[in-house]
């Protein structure tokens, strides 16, 4: 399964060397990313994977400046830096806790508070608004309890008002339907799963550059990617969800994971998290029609 018929460097490594292709190794990677990011909140899933590849078992990383100013520590002589990707730039260098010295490191950062899975109605409504202004129409349907929802590539339109209170139209290239009979946490996990499909490119880009086109007839691989995205997002918030049962069941019964793009999964989770953190009041500029 490829993105526009091209295999990225990391995914080529996974395929040729077999890194993380075994079921056990893949779950170890996901669990490391989850634990590590609860300690280092600014580390995106993709960078957490890079750290795991370079130094498995890492507990906390920071730049030289952060170690000095926040913790009164510095890299040990001869310590090797770890490489991560920098926002709006090529790379950054960070050092792992074991490779630094100085003041005692705060114990609470080594055993961070675990979220209890609470998600307020206000948070869910703001997330839905963020989704709408990113081009995703959210609607509820009176489904039976056995059906959670679905995502469709279907162009619709929404309206918003600018600062002068004038109405404007914007495009919404996808629709996500959720079960109105489910509680808010279950609705959230449904949205995560369907966004996983969209951001992994399973429904195409609808002509928008910020989305991937990775059409595939491999339904199993598509579901595995979407469930992996959902698992990462839910575990980071402390939400227990059906993705954990799905992944554990598949990995227990299969020695190898499907032919997926691990890089795409991690980048998709990061994009969804970024979208959830913002409080948008107007649509993306590339969706506006005037």
pLDDT for 162 equals 80
Flag whether pLDDT at 21 surpasses 60. Answer: yes
State how far the Cα of 122 lies from the Cα of 96, in Å rounded to an integer: 37
Mean pLDDT of the chain: 85
Per-residue pLDDT tens digits for 164-200: 788 899 999 999 999 998 888 889 999 999 999 999 9
Instruction: Using alpha carbons, list the distances in angstroms from residue 173 to 137, 158, 235.
Output: 8, 10, 28
Per-residue pLDDT tens digits for 268-279: 999 999 888 888
């Amino acid at each position: 399964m490829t993105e526009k018929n091209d295999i990225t460097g990391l995914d080529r490594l996974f395929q040729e060397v077999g890194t993380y292709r075994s079921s056990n190794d893949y779950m170890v990677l996901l669990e490391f990313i989850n634990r590590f990011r609860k300690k280092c909140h600014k580390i995106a899933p993709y960078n957490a994977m890079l750290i795991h590849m370079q130094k498995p078992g890492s507990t906390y990383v920071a730049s030289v400046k952060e170690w000095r100013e926040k913790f009164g520590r510095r890299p040990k002589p001869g310590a090797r830096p770890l490489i991560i990707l920098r926002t709006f730039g090529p790379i950054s260098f960070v050092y792992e806790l074991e490779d630094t010295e100085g003041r005692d490191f705060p114990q609470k950062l080594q055993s961070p508070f675990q979220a209890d899975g609470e998600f307020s109605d206000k948070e869910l409504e703001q997330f839905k608004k963020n989704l709408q202004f990113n081009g995703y129409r959210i609607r509820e349907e009176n489904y039976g309890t056995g059906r959670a929802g679905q995502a469709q590539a279907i162009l619709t339109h929404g309206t918003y008002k600018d600062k002068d209170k004038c109405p404007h139209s914007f495009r919404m290239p996808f629709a996500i339907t959720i079960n109105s009979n489910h509680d808010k946490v279950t609705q959230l996990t449904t949205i995560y799963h369907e966004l996983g499909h969209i951001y992994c490119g399973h429904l195409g880009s609808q002509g928008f550059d910020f989305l991937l086109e990775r059409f595939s007839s491999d339904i199993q691989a598509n579901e595995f990617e979407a469930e992996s995205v959902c698992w990462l997002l839910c575990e980071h918030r402390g939400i227990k969800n059906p993705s954990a049962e799905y992944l554990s069941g598949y990995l227990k019964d299969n020695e190898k994971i499907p032919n997926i793009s691990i890089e795409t999964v991690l980048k998709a989770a990061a994009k969804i998290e970024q979208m959830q953190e913002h409080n948008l009041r107007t649509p993306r500029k590339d969706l506006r029609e005037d």
